[in-house]
A = this chain, B = another copy of it.
Amino acid sequence: MIGDQYLLLPGPTPIPERVVRAMSKPMVNHRGPEFKQLLLEVTGELKEVYQTKQHVLIYPASGTGALEAAVVNFLSPRDKVLAVSIGVFGDRFAKIASEFGAQVEKMDFPWGQPADPQRVKERLDQDVNREIKAVLVTHNETSTGVFNDMKAIGEALGSHPALLMVDAISGLATIDLKMDEWNLDVVVSGSQKAFMIPPGLSFMAFNEKALEVHKQSKMPRYYWDASQGLKYLEKGQNPYTPAASLYYGLAESLRIMKEEGLDNIIERHRNYRDMVRSSVQAMGLELLAKDEYASHALTAVVAPEQIGANQIRKFMLEQFNIVLAGGQQKLDNVIFRIGHLGYVRELDLLAALAALEISLYKLGWEIELGIGINKAQTFILNKTQKGD
């Protein structure tokens, strides 16, 4: 098929040409002045995206690595941990903590729904002896397309001393997250999502409260050790060889993000969500998540049972070269997920939605061609007029 794929996954996202070019720069000495300047620049800009004045470390690793980094830096074996899960990635965070010997209490919510901050508050209120050392929460659950209200969960902790550790891998810079203002103690993210660069870097932000806990923490660690990370950062270095080409890309993507502005980026992702949802609903399909907590980063669509989500994905790939994500675990063949984060253009989504209509029609779904596209067009039209 002619032309590149339409990659509409919830990460990795397409890469802007400027970022591709930046990543092509020759290697430098990772112990020299050029790298120092680059590291300090990107660390400073990352703090803007995290809306924090606290610490940020960059790991040569994918997002899951930063989840492990959070666990081994800020917990100790046998620590009581409350792991709030609303899907696959909430489960993963809990699994890592229990693998490293924490006593994990799961608080599960049905897949497709967000966590209830009130239930978190009640559980912490019961913990009169303050035994719970940390609360683990997913900002945006990629497996279901649902986001958690991190401000309300921050408030739910109140005066409880537990650390609030947040997996914001797919959420950061698509949905608002004010790390300092909302009292989030540890927030991790990854490069292949809103940052629009290839996978292979992950980020861990943490505040002074977390740093104090870290100093007492007894987990075994070397690669992820935040003390070493901070010590070398002061010299403008990484404790071991950093993934230099991805740093070049990151510096450029952070420039692109600054040009657009964080508020505008979040607004853009919110618009993508609203446009995609209204269009898909007009096609007669059901959405997994309700409007109030539907992710800005991706939309999980419930496929008609008689067709099945995987048949739709297969048709879209073979006929139109469009790559959608499937459902994970118990949602396999039940939902398909349209990623709309990072370097995705409005018109790419419009084209993909038009192709989805054709696919549904060909697979036997009763649909009037153009009915969903009309909604998306109308959304864009209204948005443009408002913007004028």
Contacts and interface: CB of A to CB of B under 8 A. Distances in A.
A241 B190 contact: yes
A198 interface: yes
Given A12-B244, A63-B241, A5 B23 contact: no
Interface stretch (A95-103, A109-117, A174-182): A95-103
Interface in A194-211: 198-200
Contacts of A30: 12, 199
Contacts of A285: none
Chain A interface mostly? loop
Contacts of A325: 29, 31
Interface string A58-70: 0011111100100
A323 B31 CA distance: 10
A25 to B, nearest CB: 9
A63 B240 contact: yes
A220 B223 contact: no
B200 A29 contact: no
Contact of A64 (B12, B27, B200, B241): B241
A224 B323 CA distance: 29
A87 interface: no
**Copies in the assembly, this chain:** 2
A241 B99 contact: no
A99 B198 CA distance: 31
B27 A24 contact: no
A64 B63 CA distance: 18
Contact of A24 (B23, B63, B199): B23
Contacts of A11: 241
Q: Which of A23, A95, A199, A246 counts the most B-chain CB atoms under 10 A from its CB?
A: A199
Contacts of A190: 241
B32 A223 contact: no
Nearest to A169: B241
Across the A-B interface, give the 4 residue pairs with the lowest CB-CB distance, nearest first: A200-B243, A198-B245, A64-B240, A12-B27
Interface of A: 4-5, 7, 9, 11-15, 20, 23-24, 26-32, 60-65, 68, 95-96, 99-101, 190, 192, 198-200, 219-223, 239-246, 323, 325-326
15 contacts: A9-B29, A12-B244, A13-B27, A23-B24, A30-B199, A60-B65, A61-B61, A61-B223, A95-B222, A198-B245, A199-B242, A199-B244, A200-B200, A200-B245, A243-B246
